[in-house]
Chain A
Amino acid sequence: MNFLSNKSYIAWYFVIPVVFIHLFVIGIPSILSLALCLTDWSGLGKINYVGFENFIELFDDRYFKKAIFHNILWTIIFLTVPVCIALMCAYLLTGIKRGQMFYRLAFFFPYMLASVVNCQIWKYLFHPIHGLGGFFESIGIEALASSPFTTKDTSLYAAAFVDGWHFWGFLVVIYLTGMYQVDNHLYEAADIEGASKFQKFRYITLPMIRPIFIFSLMIIIIWSVPVFDYVYILTGGGPAYSSEVVANYLYTHAFVRFNVGYASAVGTLMFFYVIFIVGIFGLLRRLGWEI
């Protein structure tokens, strides 16, 4: 239907600016990257076509494999810990009358803050002499005696913790929106049957919010791919690559070593992975999964 104008090209005038600016900044550079991944360009001089050499090299690269493994771990952590906490908090929130708004604001506020600020807060709190380390020492408990960000075994989890701390309130709000759409009669019927709180959650709430729930899992998987800020600021990928993630690895190759071809190959893999995930969820929806 085109009820405003008989000339359909006018509708296009309105769309051109957004398409132009998006192509200029994201579309064309993305295509360039997909092409440059087949070259050995260093940003200057001649561009040589090398076929799939970058990818072959990548699959042999110990540090890249390590980074991928860390991204997978990161995804698994985010698919479980914040999701469970957020589901629980959202469900508990539907059961109270007073203080609803207070809790919602408190949970959500960290999500509004810049990564630099959140990282600074936790760098301080996890500092061995200041912050919680100093506090525990003063009351005689041996905990956090060294910063988890500079310890090999914990650096990745510590960075994930800070990112998760800032993120989970977002999930609470999303789940809450879904839970409020659940028909009250279902709970009343369950009450008559004598269902427990957990049974009501398991057999009413969870199935009813399934579309939103599945969707939240999809964005977590997608958002776990380009994770950068928290790792770069808190650990820089170290110590000794113990918290290296793909985005930080790409950043080092791109802007420290200027391996344009190699970095583009990493970016290309990230892109196809994301498209693959979106495709799977799209397919599931087509197959009649209500998501």
Chain B
Amino acid sequence: MLVSNFRRKEAIPNHFILILFALLAVLPILVLFFNSIKPFSEFGLNPLGPPSEVRLQNFPDAWIAGEYTKIFFNSSKLVFGSVILCLAVSLLAGFSLAKLNPKGSTVIAIYLLVGISIPAQLYILPLFLLWKELSLLNTHIGLIIIYSALNAPFATFLIRSYMIRLPDELFDAAKLDGANTFQIFFRIALPLSWPVILTAGLIIGLAVWNEFLFALTFITDPNFKPMATILFSFQARFENNYALQSAAAIMMVAPIALLFMLFQRRFISGLTSGGLKE
């Protein structure tokens, strides 16, 4: 801690400015929360403050109006499908790049790095036409494949940078005992890597849950839409019913808020690891 950077009594102006910015970040979300438990009739008089009477009925109302049983299931399917598929391919690749050093591994690393920086707009249209050809439009598996590919480079690098620090002696010992490469991967590398698996899984899940552009483009059938694009059409459908809208938005935020409380450090370190070099 940089205590000597400032003296204690000088910390008060710091707090003052920091609190202002913290309020700027948090108050808008708090208003959304207030609105989600506010009776519709109260919005005219009290647009920003806490409700005078808590109305939890907004949530079941929004749930039914938006057919959220189905939509929640759609989003969960996309999240779990993508997390599993993306983790599977990234763990294999991360392990190989960290411990097996295949010939030409730099070529793969460069390919994946370029892949991260390609703007989605370059390939989204040919991908759309390809998906149409393969009858993958309006299917969840189609979107799961896309999400896995989008997140795989990031997950691969995250896993690689973790596995590279696992001690080589463990792997050498297993090899002397006659284990083959696949056994070493499953019995040694995987069990030791659960922290990075958890971090990568959370980040992939978050990205998929929030994703908008590909969900908008590749799923047009309302029966298959995930939370993000349903919320978007919900905003247009119930344009002036802010109680219903806010309740729907809070339902999308709630799982993230809950996971963020449990795994703050993982989320923060995982999401910023892409911005920090090794």
Which residues of A are in contact with B by a Cβ distance under 8 Å? Answer: 1-5, 8, 10-12, 14-15, 17-19, 21-22, 24-30, 32-34, 36, 43, 85, 88-89, 92-97, 99, 101-117, 120-125, 130-132, 134-135, 165, 169-170, 173-174, 177, 179-180, 182, 184, 187-188, 191, 197, 200, 211-212, 215-216, 219, 222, 225-226, 228-229, 233, 246-247, 250-251, 254-255, 260, 263-264, 266-268, 270-271, 274-275, 278
Contact = CB atoms under 8 A, between A and B. Distances in A.
* Number of chain B interface residues as a range: 35 or more
Contact of A104 (B47, B48, B90, B268): B268
B275 A219 contact: yes
B260 A187 contact: no
26 contacts: A4-B99, A14-B95, A17-B88, A18-B89, A22-B115, A25-B150, A26-B123, A29-B124, A92-B17, A92-B18, A96-B6, A106-B25, A106-B26, A107-B22, A108-B267, A109-B25, A109-B29, A110-B28, A115-B210, A116-B235, A170-B272, A173-B268, A174-B275, A187-B5, A228-B121, A246-B121
B146 interface: yes
A104 B152 CA distance: 28
A21 B89 contact: yes
A1 B103 CA distance: 10
Nearest to A269: B122
B123 A29 contact: yes
B5 A270 contact: no
B119 A105 contact: no
A189 B109 CA distance: 42
A271 B22 CA distance: 36
A222 B118 CA distance: 9
A67 to B, nearest CB: 12
Contacts of A14: 92-93, 95-96, 100, 102, 181, 185
Q: What secondary structure prevails in chain A residues at the interface with B?
A: helix
A124 B243 CA distance: 11
Interface centre among A14, A105, A165 (most CB of B within 10 A): A14
B212 interface: yes
A254 B127 contact: no
B2 A179 contact: yes
A32 B145 CA distance: 19
B80 interface: no
Contact of B149 (A26, A233, A254, A271): A26
B22 to A, nearest CB: 4
Nearest to A100: B1
A124 B242 contact: yes
